[in-house]
Amino acid sequence: MTRTLLLSAIVTALTLWGLALAAIPLRTRPWWRHLGTGAAVAGWLVVVGAILGLWLDLGRPPLRTLGETRLWYAALVAGIGLALEWRLRLTVLRLPMLAMAGMFLALDLFRPDALDRTLRPALHSAWFVPHVATYLAAYALLGLACATALHGWWCVRRGELPAQAAAVPVLLVDLGLPLLTLGMILGAVWAKQAWGHYWAWDPKETWALATWVVYVGIVHFTRLRPDAHRTHLTLIAVAFATVCLCWFAVQWLPSAVVSVHTYTSD
């Protein structure tokens, strides 16, 4: 897959998701509702196709660079969002889901990575895809939780918080935390296989643990005070900053000088 083809796929997916977003205010009419859902699903299929094409072309899982993980992230946010929308008959997820997925996809449009076919020896492992994919699925759920929490706050500002808008962010965190746990253990077992250590206190690992700890606190708080909806929304929206820090921003921290985990531009 050439860079032009990849960028075309991104533009197509963004256009389709834009159409799905435009259809949201009109979804009381069946025709618009079906058009919106069709456009959202079609956009998701285009992104999945782009990932598969990239995988085949690069000859390695496209999970190495920041841009590649953003592509997966957009696909997972949209895929998980659509699946939950269908299974739980949700109506509040469409706008935050498409906004979040579209934002990450747009970042790939404006900051494209070099299509680097190389993969470091340590990443030639059966653990690579399960570990990173589990983490990205957890991040997708937590990102969706943040977006729906912000949407919930918007509802609060308008004076009414529907049951779904209050409960969905909590559910998403509840589903994301176990995946975060699994991803962390998978990473530790992989490290043991590759280097003989489960954990090396690399800044990226430390932030992964800090992120996990923050969400453990939030999940327990939602069980302790199930009716404190506004606090839930605030905590869930703010907590996503730790995910972003762990994912993108570790390389800017003073501790990154000793990190072997940060994404590089190459």
Partner 1 sequence: MAATTEKTGFWTTWALPQAFVSGAGLILAAWAVQLLYPALRLTLPAPPWNWPVAIAPVALALGLGWGWPRCPRLAGVASAPSAIAAVTGFALCLLPVAIWPQGTAAPAWLARLGLADALTSLPLTLMGALVLAILAVATGRRIRQREPGWLRFTFLHLGLITVMLAVAAGSPGIQRGWIEVSCDGPPVAVARTADGQVLRLPTALKLQEFRLESWPPRLVVGKAEAAVAADALLGPGTAITIAGLKILVAEWLPAAGVVAGIPRECHQPGAHPAARVQVDHAGGSVVGWLHPPGLFGEGLGVTLPDGRRVEMEPPRARRFSAVVRTAARPQEAVKEAVTIEVNAPLKLDGWWIHLLAYDQRLGAASRSVTLEAVEDRALPGVWAGLALVALGVILHGFAATAAFRGKIQVETATGTGQGAPR
- Amino acid type, 203: P
Stretch in the footprint of partner 1 (CB under 8 A) among 26-34, 46-54, 64-72, 167-175: 167-175
Q: Please state, in angstroms and rounded to a whole number, the distance separating the CA atoms of residues 210 and 200.
A: 15
| Residue 129 binds partner 1 (CB under 8 A) | no
Which residue in 13, 54, 166, 237 binds partner 1 (CB under 8 A)? 166
Fill in the per-residue mask, 87 to 116: x = in contact with partner 1 (CB under 8 A), - = not in contact.
Answer: xxx------------------------xxx
Q: Please state, in angstroms and rounded to a whole number, the distance separating the CA atoms of residues 83 and 200.
A: 36
Length of the chain: 266
| Residue 162 binds partner 1 (CB under 8 A) | yes
Stretch in the footprint of partner 1 (CB under 8 A) among 24-32, 36-44, 95-103, 178-186: 178-186
Collect all residues with Cβ–Cβ distance below 8 Å to 6 and sequence separation of at least 6.
50, 53, 54, 112, 115
- Cβ distance to partner 1 smaller for residue 45 or 175: 175
Q: Please state, in angstroms and rounded to a whole number, the distance separating the CA atoms of residues 61 and 52.
A: 9
Residues 102 and 65: beta-carbon distance below 8 Å: no
Scanning residues 36 to 65, which ones bind partner 1 (CB under 8 A)?
Answer: none
- Cβ distance to partner 1 smaller for residue 28 or 87: 87
Among 156, 204, 154, which Cα is nearest to 183's? 204
- Amino acid type, 95: L
Residue 51 Cβ vs partner 1, minimum distance, rounded to whole Å: 17
Which residue in 31, 86, 198, 241 binds partner 1 (CB under 8 A)? 198
Q: Please state, in angstroms and rounded to a whole number, the distance separating the CA atoms of residues 105 and 14.
A: 7
Tokens of 16: 């389709």
Which residues here bind partner 1, judged by CB under 8 A?
A: 2-3, 84, 87-89, 114-122, 124-127, 155-156, 159-164, 166-167, 171, 174-175, 178-179, 181-182, 185-186, 188-189, 192-196, 198, 201, 203, 206-207, 209-210, 213-214, 216-217, 220-221, 223-224, 227-230, 253-255, 257-258, 266
